[in-house]
Structure 1
Amino acid sequence: MPPTLASLVQHPALKLVVRAGADRLGTPVRWAHASELADPVPYMDGGELLLVTATNLDAENPEAMRRYVRRLAGAGVAGVGFAVGVNYEDVPEALVAAAEEAGLPLLEVPRRTPFLAISKAVSAAIAADQYRAVTAGFEAQRELTKAALAGDGPTGLLARLAAHVNGWAALYDSSGAVLAAAPEWAARRAAGLTSDVERLRGRAAPSSIVAGHQ
C-alpha cells in the first residue's frame, strides 16, 4: 500500500503530532511538498502532504486560515504539516480550528524534524510500494507460466489468475463465448460481458482473450 498520513505519524523518527483531522489519517500521500506561497493550490496535483512554516501567512487570523484551508481541501491536498519553532512556537489555534472545520488533517512538525526527512520517508515508502507491486507481478507471471506448462488446463490457470487479482477471471474465444471462468460463480458475470468482447473483434487480437476483474 502507498504511504498514508497514519504511517507517517507512526514513523518513529519523524515524531509528528496530529492536531486536526485524526479521523482521516488513512488518506494516501502521493508526495510531500514544501511551499510558503500564500496560495500554493495552482501548483498542487492533489494527494500531497503540504509542508509549511507560515512565512507568508497570517496564521493567527481565523478568516485568512479558513480561506487558506478551504482552498487546500478543495484541491485535494492530503494534509498539512506545520513546522513549529520557526515562525510560530506553536501551531496557531486559528489554523487548527480551520483544519477541523474543513476536515483537513493537520500535523505538527517538531523543529528537530526537517522537511527533508519527511520527504525522504514518503519517497522511500512509495518506492517500497512500487517494488512490492513489481515483485508481485513477476511472481504471478512465474506461477501462471508454471501452471500452463504443468498442463493444469484453462480452469486451473484461471483459478490462479483470479486468486492473484483477488477477483475473477474468464477466457473468451474470438466470438465472445465464455470458454472457462473462475471461480465458478464468475461464469454468469463473464457472460454478461459478451457484447463488450464482440466489440473488440474488429481489433487485432489473439484468438482468445483472458480478462481478469477485481
Structure 2
Amino acid sequence: MPPTLASLVHHSALKLTVRAGEERLAIPVRWAHASELADPVPYMEGGELLLITALKLDAEDPEAMRRYVRRLGQAGVAGLGFAVGVHYATIPDALVDAAAEEGLPLLEVPRRTPFLAISKAVSAAISAEQYQAVTAGFAAQRDLTKQALGGGPAGLLAALAGQVDGWAALYDATGAVVAAAPEWA
C-alpha cells in the first residue's frame, strides 16, 4: 500500500500535526516535494505532498492564500506541509482557513523536522511497497513453476486462480474445458 498522509502523520519521528483537511488523510502520497515557487503547479504531477516555508508567499493574505490553495487542489496535490519557525512562527490563519475551505490537508512541520526526513519517509514507504510487489511476483512465479512441473493442469490452474484471486480455465482446441479452478468456475 502506498504511503498516505495519515501514515506520515503517524510516523513518530516526523512529529507532523494536522491543521486542516483531516477528512482526506487517507490520500496516497506519490512523492514529497519542496518548492518555494509562488506557483509550483506547472511543476507538479499530482499526488505530491508539497513542502513549503512560504518564503515567497504572503501567507497572511486571505485572498492570495485562497487562490494558492485552490490551484494546488486543482493540480491534484495530496497535501501541503508548512514548516513553522522559519519565516512564520505559526501557520498563518489565512492559510489554515484557505486549506480548510478547499479541503486540502495542511500539515504543520516542526522546525526540528527537516523536509529531507519527510522525503526519505515517503521514499522508503514507496520502496517498501515496490519490494513487496517484486517479492510477491517471485513467489508467484515459484509456485506456478512448481505446479507446472509436478501438479498437472489442475494444480497449475488452482495456483493461478489463487494468485489472481479469481478463476482460471484450460480449454482444448475444440473449446471444451479440460480443467478449471476453483470448482465453481
Q: What TM-score does the superposition give when structure 1 sets the normalisation length?
A: 0.80
- Assess, with a 3 A threshold, how the Cα gap between structure 1 residues 43 and 177 changes in structure 2: closer, same or farther: farther
What corresponds to 1:209 in structure 2? none
Corresponding residue SS for 2:32: strand
What corresponds to 1:117 in structure 2? 117
Shift of 1:162: 2.3
- 1:40-189 correspondence runs (5 A): 40-150=40-150, 152-171=151-170, 179-185=178-184, 187=185
My pick for the range that moved more, 162-171 or 68-77, is: 162-171
Shift of 1:176: 7.0
- Assess, with a 3 A threshold, how the Cα gap between structure 1 residues 176 and 127 changes in structure 2: closer, same or farther: farther
| Larger RCO (CA within 8 A; separation ≥ 6) | 2
Q: What TM-score does the superposition give when structure 2 sets the normalisation length?
A: 0.92
- 1:196-211 correspondence runs (5 A): none
Shift of 1:172: 5.2
1:32-66 deviation digits (Å, cap 9, x = unpaired): 00000111000001111000000111111111111
Structure 2 Cα separation of the partners of residues 184 and 77 of structure 1: 46
My pick for the range that moved more, 153-162 or 57-66, is: 153-162
Count of residue correspondences: 185
Identify unmatched segments of 5+ residues in structure 2: none
Identity of matched residues, %: 79
Structure 1 Cα separation of the partners of residues 80 and 18 of structure 2: 10
Corresponding residue SS for 2:104: coil
1:163-194 deviation digits (Å, cap 9, x = unpaired): 22233334456787765443344x4xxxxxxx
Corresponding residue SS for 2:160: helix
Structure 2 Cα separation of the partners of residues 103 and 18 of structure 1: 12
1:120-143 deviation digits (Å, cap 9, x = unpaired): 111111111111110110001001
Q: Which amino acid aligns with 2:10?
A: Q
Structure 2 Cα separation of the partners of residues 13 and 153 of structure 1: 51
- Assess, with a 3 A threshold, how the Cα gap between structure 1 residues 177 and 66 changes in structure 2: closer, same or farther: farther
